[in-house]
Amino acid sequence: MQIVFKQAYLSDLYYNQTSDKKHRFQPEVIKKYIKVVNILKHAKGVEDLFPFNSLNYEKLSGDKAGKESVRVTDKYRLEFITERSDGEIIVTVCNILELSNHYQ
């Protein structure tokens, strides 16, 4: 799958392991974020994500309908959109969210 980043800080986080002051993450979260993006990059389709139980792949619903997500850590998830273009799957990484208030 081809990876595209919707926001500059997501690309910077992946390629440079840095982030601006507004988007600060712990080093362990950055390390796992890079690992998850690499898994997405090397997958041939979303079906390849299913064996990774720790990713908890899911299609989102409600106001996030059309997006999919995987877990980076137990407290963070990565939201993305998949599209098919000329037989290739393009993954647009939308954001990384903290889940602390998500289930409250």
CATH classification of the domain holding 34:
3.30.2310.20
104 in a structural domain: no
pLDDT at residue 100 greater than cutoff 90: no
Does the residue 59 lie in any domain?
yes
103 belongs to a structural domain: no
> Within a domain: residue 53?
yes
Strand partners, 99: none
**Host domain of residue 60:** 2-98
Q: Please give the pLDDT value at position 104.
A: 43
Please state the domain count of the chain: 1
pTM of structure: 0.85
Residue 11, in any domain of the structure: yes
Q: 30 lies in a domain?
A: yes
For 3-16, what is each residue's pLDDT tens digit? Answer: 999 998 899 899 98
Residue from 39, 91, 57, 35 nearest 27 by CA: 35
